[in-house]
């Protein structure tokens, strides 16, 4: 699949017309058509502008979706944070249950 075909795919997924995506990228509809039919290559400023409206430019250029790589340190910190949030959530749940029981007993 060409850059133009992937660009068209993303434009259609965002339900944008050629005119609308061209305007978002700062080019005329004619230029947008040329990009999509692969007779012209888009410039960096155009790609940066369409990224701002939700086009996955990395996919358009490479055909691949990349997830950011996490280092071991980042992953360990994220795991630590998740466990801490889980403990806090359990504490809040116990407190909420206690408050509900107290309110229920008062209303009897």
CA within 13 Å, CB half, 32: 21
Question: What integer pLDDT is reported at residue 69 of this predicted model?
Answer: 66
Residue 49's contacts (CB-CB under 8 Å, 6 or more residues apart) are 24, 25, 26
Rg (CA), the chain: 25
CATH code of the domain in which 13 resides: 1.10.260.40
Query: Looking at the structure, do residues 78 and 56 belong to the same domain, yes or no?
Result: no
Residues 77 and 97 in one domain: yes
Q: What is the pLDDT along the chain (108 residues), one digit of tens a residue?
A: 899 999 999 999 999 999 999 999 999 999 999 999 999 999 999 999 999 999 999 999 988 877 666 677 777 888 888 898 899 988 888 888 888 888 888 887
78: CB partners within 8 A, 6+ apart: 70
Domain residues for 82?
A: 68-108
95 and 55 in a common domain = no
């Amino acid at each position: 699949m060409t850059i133009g075909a992937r660009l068209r795919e993303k434009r259609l997924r965002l339900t944008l017309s050629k005119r609308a995506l061209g305007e978002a990228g700062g080019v005329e509809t004619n230029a947008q058509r040329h990009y999509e039919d692969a007779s012209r290559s888009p410039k960096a400023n155009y790609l940066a502008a369409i990224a701002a409206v939700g086009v996955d430019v990395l996919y358009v250029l490479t055909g691949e979706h990349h997830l950011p790589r996490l280092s071991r340190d980042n992953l360990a910190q994220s795991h630590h944070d998740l466990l801490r949030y889980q403990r806090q959530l359990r504490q809040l749940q116990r407190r909420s249950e206690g408050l509900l029981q107290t309110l229920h007993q008062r209303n009897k």
